[in-house]
Structure 1
Amino acid sequence: MKYVLISFFGLFLLITTKAADAKVYALTVGIDEYAFFQPSLDGAVNDSNDIANTLKTVQGAEVVQFLNGQATKSNIFKAWTVLAERAGQGDHLILHIAGHGAFQKAVFPEAGETFDNMYLLAGFDVTGEGTKERILDNEFAFLFEKEREATVLFIADICFSGTLARSAFLETEAKVRRLEGLIEFEDDQLRDELVALGPPPSTSAVQNLFEIYAVGPGEIVPEVRINNQMRGALSYSVARAFEGHADRSNDQLLSETELDRFVLRKAREHANGLQNPETRASADLALAFPTINRSLQPPVIEKLKFFVLASGDADVDRDLITARLVHEEVEYAKDPLAADLILEVGGGSFAFFNSTRDLIYPSVSAIECEGWSSDGCAAKLLNRLETEFSAVVAKEVFLRRLAERPLREAVEVWTKNTATQYSKGERIGFHLKTEVSDSVFLFALDKFGRITALVDQPISVDASKPLFIGESIVEPPFGADHFFAVTGGEELRAFSRWLKANNGRALSQAPETATPHGSLGAELIEKLTQGSLSVGVLPIFTVEQMQQIKN
């Protein structure tokens, strides 16, 4: 028997569940290729493959997968019906979807809704038979309402409410991965079926349901590069949770609280703060999902890939830049869509953008010259660029490696709004909250990965209420800053002393004392992920647009 104390919407319940004999039945759908939308997505099939491959390693799991053209409405509903019939009391039913979402005028506006959200299938069209190849939130609600025995996990890695677009955050002349706006139908052949179903049941009234949505209202789902693949941050984070990385109690069972905290945090980290997933749970839910019983080693991190973009009409020698910048941790990407870093060069200035195209190094003049080829401009620019590029890469590598390590998550840090991009003169108010009353130490990493201690010593935090840390005024260009809050009792004091001793030093530098770690960044990761420390991370970016990329 497993005893779980859960908290949802202010309601605390003590529940007992028996999970030893629970089985897993899963249906995962990933659609990159659409008949109606061109060009395709790049990460939805990867998402589905990751979820499927992860769940197939759970003992006794039954996994059905549909990709691209296989993902017809008929196939999906038939497969779900079979899985639901096989799932019994205490088992787990999983429905994972990845691809394009959209919205339409509500079928039942009298039920209080203006729009209905929908998942678009590979054969979708706005007229004829293609109008049937979509699944509305109403239909999902009826599917879940029928299930009376198994626990249902619904994972929607699409924009299911709001702007409803999975986006690559990188628009080129040849490819724009973005679907926006209200879908209007010329000949809706599905409407009569929807009307016949009647008003949908409220999912809040459905028993044993846990829903995870990639974003909240008004937000987009970025496709991001993770380990050399375009991915959805939500699906990737859920797969790692299923592996056991979210199992904080080390009982090889995943509770709803563990899943909720891990996925919401990791998805934000992988999307550089641009994504804010939402979860919903039945009031009587007691999730006890069997995680994979294997050694949880961090995945191998691929080399960081960068692309050189000539700003405007600048005459830039990409080969010369590449020859100077490539080293053991980075390689050149011929395709900008495959890049983790975009280096924009023009005249005597340069700037860096990350995988979600946030500015991480401000576009400022590095030297005075009229153009790349004028009076040794290239040589002067490359000398400065080489040094600063190494620092930027060291920080990006640090953030990627940290995101792949299991972190204790007893502290949360946020700003007064959910934005991560800020303009000149804007005020940013910082807040934090801990699970237990504890001490917290605050530090930041600037665009070069330089460590800045923000307090002299750990400060006390009352777990019963959020702590307002302070307010800053944005004065760009500051590029990308990352704000860290760390808790951990007595161990925190040793960490704070170590960090203050390294105040002002960069992650790319070697540790001052002899250690097995090759860099200060590697040593910091070990300190943050070993022992009893808990870590909260908040990325902050300057608002600035990148030039449109032309291959």
Structure 2
Amino acid sequence: MLRKALISCAFFSLAGLPALAATSALVVGVDVYPHEVSLDGAVKDARDVAQALKTADVGTIREFINEKATKDAIRAGWLELVGAATKGDMIIFTYAGHGAQMPELVAGSEPDGLDEFLELPGFDRSRAEETAKEIIVDNELNAWFAEAEAKGVQVLFVSDSCYSGGMNRSISGKTRLAPTVRAQLPPPSQEAVSGAAVKDADLSQVTILAASLESQLTPEVVIEGEPRGALSWSFARALEGAADRDGDGLISRVELEDYVFSNVKLQSEALQVPNFTPQVPRSDREIVLSLPRSAALADGNGAAATGRSSKLKPARDMGWTGTLALSVNGTAPTLENVGGSGVPYRWDATSGTFYTPNGDVAGEHVAADMVQGVVDKFILLDFLKVLAAQNPGKVSLTPVKDIYSSGDRLNFDAPQSGYANMLVFNLANTGEVQLLDAQVSGSGSHVFKLRDLEVVKPFGADHLVVVSTNAPIDAVVAALSSPGVEASEFLRLLEERLDGTDSAVAIQPLYTRERGQ
């Protein structure tokens, strides 16, 4: 059967999808929970995905938002799509909202004795038996998917919710985790009973991409100034064609894995680590999504593309403004490039603590004469994130943690790319840009390895960055070779030389603190 990963922020893909298969979609998003802590970004997620589906010319799309997300309505929508589909077609089913656990309904069906379920607005745990109709249990989803598989219909399921625990950083946003239901619920539905008998092999064309490891919560994080789910945001961008790196109108599992892994980590500031199951693709050319719109195959001039476009969109065309929303507690000096809308960064002038919109400590003991540098660092970081969202590179930091303590030893790696030039640097929590490595006019960038890196003061948020490009970077490297390079100066160099070019950007957030805090 599909076990925990089914509800825990899972992304389902499929092998061998025909390029011309008809695609329909069922989209669910719930912010308003009358009997539960409401969310802030799930409806934005659902509407973003729905718009991306429409842009991709997906056929029938059924949307269920807030109070319209009842189990009967969702079930009817599902049956409609399955009934209209024929062999080889695909149904995309996305869910953004709360997930939770409860004692298993079918004895012996779950190794840990717990069922996972999608929690709909009508469920009230204080009246669990009366309102149990307004949850969708994992075994029921098994049965639904088996209905599609019986017709040879492919299923792509994206669930931006979670039920697992374990997060060490202090996050001010909400998590998509509802408390475990302890009350005894009514006997299971016939769908839950039949779904409990469904084995993994019975759904042979389903692959799982979990948005978080089982040990992690799925938080709502601030993306482009708004609370969002990192998986939904990344999936919407993938639908828009960002994951289609070779421009053939098909997204392979490798392309999707590269794109979603990088962007979920990037947008969640390394709070989430996606995970594919099975770990190895079923074939070298496993296709998970077809992009039917012709625009997916066009470059910036509208001409048919034979591969990846040689240029990416400039950051300002993607919404980057070069400013930072900042809230100050206390008296602040006159600051440049501060303004804009959305959830702000925060600086406590008394303690000197600088916070990200997610509530993370980005810097400690940031004095008045230092705060402009920290502001400039995050403006630069936002610029790099826009580039990375279009063409993400690969990096790894081991061991994997959401926060590191003083004295921890780390290894940082960047693989070789097909680009001639490579630039590796650190955006320190003080705002300083620190050159780590560079290769200029090579035949292909070398593998970069940073071994036995020790966590020391000052603590906060560093960001290790790798830029791979064919654009000339000699002047950039020369500037970084001087000590004490300011983020604002470095940003001007990157805007002039790399903005809009074919450049891959990888960003590894590194949050640190004093041991024992």
Q: If the TM-score is normalised by the length of the shorter chain, which range does it land in?
A: 0.7 to 0.9
Q: 1:537 aligns with which of 507, 512, 516?
A: 507
Partner of 1:405: 387
SS of residue paired to 2:320: coil
Post-superposition CA distance 1:208-263 (Å, at most 9, x none): 33433321202111212222321111111111111111110012332222122111
SS of residue paired to 2:158: strand
Partner of 2:464: 483
Q: Is 1:138–2:139 an aligned residue pair?
A: yes
More strand by share: 1
SS of residue paired to 1:397: helix
Post-superposition CA distance 1:462-484 (Å, at most 9, x none): 99x99753011111223221112
- In structure 2, what is the Cα distance between the partners aligned to 1:476 and 1:71? 49
- In structure 1, what is the Cα distance between the partners aligned to 2:198 and 2:103? 18
- In structure 1, what is the Cα distance between the partners aligned to 2:48 and 2:176? 23
Structure showing greater radius of gyration is 1
Contact 1:30/1:48, CA 8 A, preserved across alignment: yes
Note closer, same or farther for the CA distance 1:531–1:305 as it changes in structure 2 (3 Å cut): closer
Post-superposition CA distance 1:248-295 (Å, at most 9, x none): 001233222212211121111111111112333683653341165165
SS of residue paired to 1:404: helix
- In structure 1, what is the Cα distance between the partners aligned to 2:123 and 2:399? 36
SS of residue paired to 2:380: helix
Note closer, same or farther for the CA distance 1:436–1:136 as it changes in structure 2 (3 Å cut): farther
Q: Which runs of 5+ in 2 are unaligned?
A: 1-14, 301-311
Post-superposition CA distance 1:508-550 (Å, at most 9, x none): 444xxxxxxxxx31532565565554332211012379x9xxx
- In structure 2, what is the Cα distance between the partners aligned to 1:83 and 1:500? 58
What TM-score do you get using the length of structure 1 for normalisation? Answer: 0.75
- In structure 1, what is the Cα distance between the partners aligned to 2:211 and 2:334? 36
SS of residue paired to 2:473: helix
Partner of 1:372: none
Note closer, same or farther for the CA distance 1:17–1:145 as it changes in structure 2 (3 Å cut): closer
- In structure 1, what is the Cα distance between the partners aligned to 2:438 and 2:120? 55
Contact 1:106/1:113, CA 8 A, preserved across alignment: no
Amino acid at match of 2:463: H
Q: 2:318 aligns with which of 278, 288, 299?
A: 299
Q: Is 1:157–2:135 an aligned residue pair?
A: no
Partner of 1:48: 46
Contact 1:411/1:434, CA 8 A, preserved across alignment: no
- In structure 2, what is the Cα distance between the partners aligned to 1:339 and 1:44? 16
Contact 1:212/1:278, CA 8 A, preserved across alignment: yes
Partner of 1:74: 72
- In structure 1, what is the Cα distance between the partners aligned to 2:413 and 2:487? 29
Contact 2:380/2:487, CA 8 A, preserved across alignment: no
The structure, 1 or 2, with the larger RCO (C-alpha pairs under 8 Å, 6+ apart) is 2
- Tell me by how many angstroms 1:405 deviates: 2.7
Q: Is 1:229–2:226 an aligned residue pair?
A: yes
Note closer, same or farther for the CA distance 1:190–1:406 as it changes in structure 2 (3 Å cut): farther
What TM-score do you get using the length of structure 2 for normalisation? Answer: 0.80
Contact 1:441/1:459, CA 8 A, preserved across alignment: no
Partner of 1:330: 339
Q: 1:308 aligns with which of 292, 317, 328?
A: 328
Note closer, same or farther for the CA distance 1:237–1:537 as it changes in structure 2 (3 Å cut): same
Q: Is 1:64–2:62 an aligned residue pair?
A: yes
- Tell me by how many angstroms 1:403 deviates: 2.0
Q: Is 1:268–2:271 an aligned residue pair?
A: no
- Tell me by how many angstroms 1:47 deviates: 0.4
Amino acid at match of 2:348: E
Alignment size in residue pairs: 472
- Tell me by how many angstroms 1:194 deviates: 6.0
Q: Is 1:169–2:171 an aligned residue pair?
A: yes
- Structure 2 counterparts to residues 175-190 of structure 1, below 5 A: 179=177, 181-186=179-184, 188-189=185-186
Partner of 2:357: 355
Contact 1:111/1:199, CA 8 A, preserved across alignment: yes
Contact 2:32/2:66, CA 8 A, preserved across alignment: yes
Q: 2:370 aligns with which of 388, 412, 418?
A: 388
- In structure 1, what is the Cα distance between the partners aligned to 2:116 and 2:497? 44
- In structure 2, what is the Cα distance between the partners aligned to 1:419 and 1:462? 31
Note closer, same or farther for the CA distance 1:246–1:60 as it changes in structure 2 (3 Å cut): closer
Partner of 1:118: 117
Q: Is 1:290–2:291 an aligned residue pair?
A: yes
Partner of 1:344: 348
Contact 1:391/1:449, CA 8 A, preserved across alignment: yes
